[in-house]
Amino acid sequence: MSLSVIAAISMIALTSWSYGTGLDNTDPLEEFNISARVDTLNYVPTAFSPNGDGENDLFLPDLVSIPEYDEYILKIYNRWGELLFESNNLYVGWDGTSGKKQMPAGTYVWSIEFKVAGAENIKYNGHVTLLRSLSQ
């Protein structure tokens, strides 16, 4: 089974720098704040099938070009709002289990929150469908 639905999400990042205005850099420094578009979530799968076949076995959003960040957290909830999974590692995704127990096929809510250095917290939410074959 191949899943390739993609959602692109972007954010605004703030960058600042200073420079001297004279040839010998003795003049007062000028400071600029620049807003630039930075793609943070390249794609977020809308479905995955943790059946051990090596394809789409994990729910793992693809985060790209994240500036230095102070904190990161991925959370997965069931339809009743119970927290099933939590990770502070960009490279650790959800395998469809909670407490070593396989979760049933269905729709689950995800939340990603991170803090970029010098900016406010950035938060994304969505849902993902966990697919299981009838024999699982």
Domain range summary for the chain, segments of one domain joined by +? 9-130
Q: Which pLDDT value is given to residue 64?
A: 62
Over its length of 136 residues, how does the chain's per-residue pLDDT go in tens digits?
434 333 334 444 444 445 555 555 565 555 555 554 454 666 889 999 999 999 999 999 887 656 566 788 999 999 999 999 999 988 899 999 999 999 999 999 999 988 777 677 788 899 999 999 876 5
Q: 36-50 pLDDT, tens per residue?
A: 445 466 688 999 999
pTM tops 0.85, yes or no: no
Does the domain made of 9-130 have the CATH classification 2.60.40?
Answer: yes
Q: Which pLDDT value is given to residue 55?
A: 92
Q: Which pLDDT value is given to residue 26?
A: 60
Q: Which pLDDT value is given to residue 121?
A: 79
SS (H, E, C) the chain: CCCCCCCCEEEEEEEEEEEECCCCCCCCEEEEEEEEEEEEEEECCCEECCCCCCCCCCECCEECCCCCEEEEEEEEECCCCCEEEEECCCCCCECCEECCEECCCEEEEEEEEEEECCCCEEEEEEEEEECCCCCC
